Amino acid sequence: MNNNARHNRIAINQFRKELKAMFDDIREIDEKVLTKAVSIGVKDVKANTNVVTSFMRKSWRSTPVKKSADGVSKAINNYMDYAPHVNYGHRIVNNKKETVGFVKGQFMLEKAVGKVDKAIVKEFKKEVERVNRKHDK
């Protein structure tokens, strides 16, 4: 009985170590997948940005990963003053402050967010499979 109890204790401790290692790997997945997916989004939004002087294209950036109780988050930003006008569209105003037309938006950011969503699913599946292979599950 004593030998059996010691064997069980060793097996339980080994199981706890493996479970903790797997849990640590899973915790890293969120940040890793989000970073990869947002990088794909930044690349896509830069490719879809119209180029006149290239300042707007060069200004697309991603924020650092923020961890919270809800999970992790990361954003794509452009710090050019006119970026929202190009992305969402804007009205054309004459000297009398009258609206004389409207310029449609390019919606580059929205297209990139769609690619990010698809990339998150793909990368998350890859990472879960990698962790399962690593831990023989």
The per-residue pLDDT for range 111-132, each reduced to its tens digit, is 999 999 999 999 988 988 887 7
Q: Are strands 89-93 and 99-104 parallel, antiparallel or unpaired?
A: antiparallel
Nearest to 34 by CA among 61, 68, 72: 72
Range of the domain at 63: 2-134
- Across all residues in the chain, what is the average pLDDT? 87
Rounded CA separation 42/116 (Å):
9
Say how many domains are in the chain: 1
pTM over 0.85: no
